[in-house]
Structure 1
């Protein structure tokens, strides 16, 4: 694998053209746009994103889902046959806020103490800003990009992706040789992530007078037994090397009719996180087996409500190595660029899910997740991303964009050599 480099060897490397003030300004501009989902306000960000990408010379379009949700598609490059394409996939929507929990207005994009604070700063408008700055740095450096850089800045990731990346895939609009998703990873390279299987568990009891609870059967009490059986249970004897063991969170409980009545019904909502290779049927069966083994006399029904697959880029993989090399080479010094991150850190898995699954599972596009910030700050009050992380991510992405054509050419050459060895042709 050849490293990313400028066309003129006497010029500085592309990552040195990343401007910390500019990436911060872009991220703050995006945070100030309220794109909460639900209800799905991504259209508010379309003008700003289109203007930013058009100013860089991208051909920009807006794809609108059947439900009317927009995603921005932009290409920097000629789109010529045989020219490699690096895709940047990022989501524009953010989760709702409880404003009373925040110490600052959530959509002000406040910069304080080396942090950008606001809903979406970490998840993931900071990552989108870093990717845009990466392309800006390539352009400013004068490097001749041998690959097309495509942005898919999509709707609806936070509620499953059906109105964003999934529709782009279904429409045949996702074509790339590799993809980087700049979700928050603490500047690590993530190659695997859990999926989610959610369900409603209906528990049935027998009503009776609350003064004599032994004469009926409490659905609430039986639901408590199911909760004990499932919550924090171990579903696999052999954990995944990056994702650990699957988990089950009993997230909500609803039941009973009055304080003086034995509860005739109760309902649990569960979220069972999954590992790569687990199907919806596999997970459903594991839930039934766990309940039946622990609560054989309980009357219940499991109603699945949602499923998204886990995904991974199996290691070793040359694209994962390429992005990790860009991460290390783009550092201004050889010191770690984030908490606990260093040259021996290795690849990581994510307990969260992202749109990377559509690219890995449906299209077999090699995809890694790498971006600024931490999932520990995402979705909470006073969400933030460190300004240094924005700059570091932009440096890595600039180097990846500049070096992707060389990487793709080396891969094609390796494939040709392998083919010659197999067939004996020269």
Structure 2
């Protein structure tokens, strides 16, 4: 019988003793461009594949669409034990205007205790952590009483379908629990997330000479203004949060008050539908009455309202305006979802954050969306925990503290022991 605590302490010390190797791996990942779009993951997948082969792991490539590669590797044996998945995405958002960066977006350098570059926080440091954890367990030949799978996916940042959902729908990966090293705070993994409802609305009018407006034609832009005013009323809906998730909502509000204190004014996003009119386009010239106008809208849905509820609301309000319109969906689509804090995969991470960091830890809600929703749709409990400097995510000068990378990796490797050795 393996003494779990002794094994955990040994593995944590191995991470500590070899932290330079961990940080070098994360640095190398940042130095490889993997922006999505365009979404070509060839170079970074090749690098990770070689790293895993160097420690003796077998790998499988799956090309879900042109130049988007999923990489899967598994260690351990099927001895009737559990199967844990560690899953991370290799793609990053575009770097934007390089003149606004203080360093190269593909720097990968260490400066004053910070690892620099696009993906440092979202999520190449976290990805490096789970790859290193997987490789170290393989290299040390740890006899696991179950299986650990590593899945590296290429298509998360656009909400695409060629990463996690593709692997799950094609039954390439399956398991009893999953960790995604998405950026989080130091002591608060995300165990739930709001739903997503992205849509395009196109309103049609009738063109005419601008000098006759508003008596002539039918102005699509002014009709769109009326439509936008109705869409924004989603925020004002009173939503009954189900009793089962109220404790999670309250803990998350506490987190916004006490941890990310700059988020305190935004606590209401946890139980309201947020509405962002993100893009608008319409008309031809100032002297032509516009015959069409289109907007793109990002709504995030709390517990207590579904995508179908939002669709019904939109049609009711827009039909009442008696305008000619079309709605089409795109991007992220999901209802609010969560994993119980009492699930073994959540407990294994949260308990080991407390153990490694010697600090209270608890799970919270995420007000955005991620690949976690796909695992939950396939009845696989999942949570997210990764190193991050949250203000830098998706912005210029992205970075992450080296100490956070090391701490998270210690949690990852200790959690494998707790999860797989727990009957």
- TM-score relative to the length of structure 1: 0.83
The corresponding residue for 1:85 is: 83
Map 1:61-100 onto structure 2 (within 5 A): 61-77=60-76, 79-98=77-96, 99-100=98-99
Map 1:384-395 onto structure 2 (within 5 A): 384-395=399-410
Between the two proteins, the alignment pairs up a number of residues equal to: 390
The corresponding residue for 2:196 is: 196
Sort the Cα spacing of 1:134 and 1:228 in 2 relative to 1 into closer, same or farther, 3 A: same
The corresponding residue for 1:414 is: none
Q: Structure 1: where are the runs of 5+ without partners?
A: 335-341, 410-426
Sort the Cα spacing of 1:52 and 1:177 in 2 relative to 1 into closer, same or farther, 3 A: same
The 10-residue stretch of structure 1 (201-210 or 382-391) with the greater mean CA deviation from structure 2 = 201-210
Map 1:253-292 onto structure 2 (within 5 A): 253-275=280-302, 279-291=306-318
The Cα shift of 1:367 comes to 0.8
Counterparts of 2:315 and 2:272 in 1: how far apart (Å)?
A: 18
The Cα shift of 1:152 comes to 0.3
Q: Does 1:350 align with 2:366?
A: yes
User: Secondary structure in 2 aligned to 1:150?
Assistant: strand
Sort the Cα spacing of 1:290 and 1:317 in 2 relative to 1 into closer, same or farther, 3 A: farther
Counterparts of 1:249 and 1:3 in 2: how far apart (Å)?
A: 52
The corresponding residue for 2:107 is: 108
The Cα shift of 1:50 comes to 1.2
Deviations 1:227-251 (A, max 9, x none): 2333472344235625432212111
**Does structure 1 retain, via aligned residues, the 8 Å contact 2:195–2:333?**
yes
The corresponding residue for 1:359 is: 375
The corresponding residue for 2:261 is: none
Sort the Cα spacing of 1:186 and 1:218 in 2 relative to 1 into closer, same or farther, 3 A: same
Deviations 1:72-128 (A, max 9, x none): 111122x32413221101011111121233222211213222211211111111111
**Does structure 1 retain, via aligned residues, the 8 Å contact 2:41–2:67?**
no
- TM-score relative to the length of structure 2: 0.84
User: Secondary structure in 2 aligned to 1:59?
Assistant: coil
User: Secondary structure in 2 aligned to 1:158?
Assistant: coil
The corresponding residue for 1:227 is: 228
The Cα shift of 1:276 comes to 5.3
Sort the Cα spacing of 1:287 and 1:117 in 2 relative to 1 into closer, same or farther, 3 A: farther
Counterparts of 1:142 and 1:67 in 2: how far apart (Å)?
A: 36
Sort the Cα spacing of 1:353 and 1:374 in 2 relative to 1 into closer, same or farther, 3 A: farther
**Does structure 1 retain, via aligned residues, the 8 Å contact 2:202–2:294?**
yes
Deviations 1:136-168 (A, max 9, x none): 555677854333221000111122241122221
Counterparts of 2:409 and 2:195 in 1: how far apart (Å)?
A: 28
User: Secondary structure in 1 aligned to 2:129?
Assistant: helix
More helix by proportion, 1 or 2? 2
The Cα shift of 1:3 comes to 9.3
Map 1:131-170 onto structure 2 (within 5 A): 131-136=130-135, 138=137, 144-170=143-169
The corresponding residue for 1:418 is: none
Counterparts of 2:22 and 2:220 in 1: how far apart (Å)?
A: 54
Cα RMSD for the two superposed structures: 2.6
Map 1:332-351 onto structure 2 (within 5 A): 334=358, 342-343=359-360, 346-351=362-367
Counterparts of 1:12 and 1:319 in 2: how far apart (Å)?
A: 19
**Does structure 1 retain, via aligned residues, the 8 Å contact 2:239–2:304?**
no
Q: Structure 2: where are the runs of 5+ without partners?
A: 253-269
Deviations 1:281-319 (A, max 9, x none): 3331132345457xx344433222345224211344333
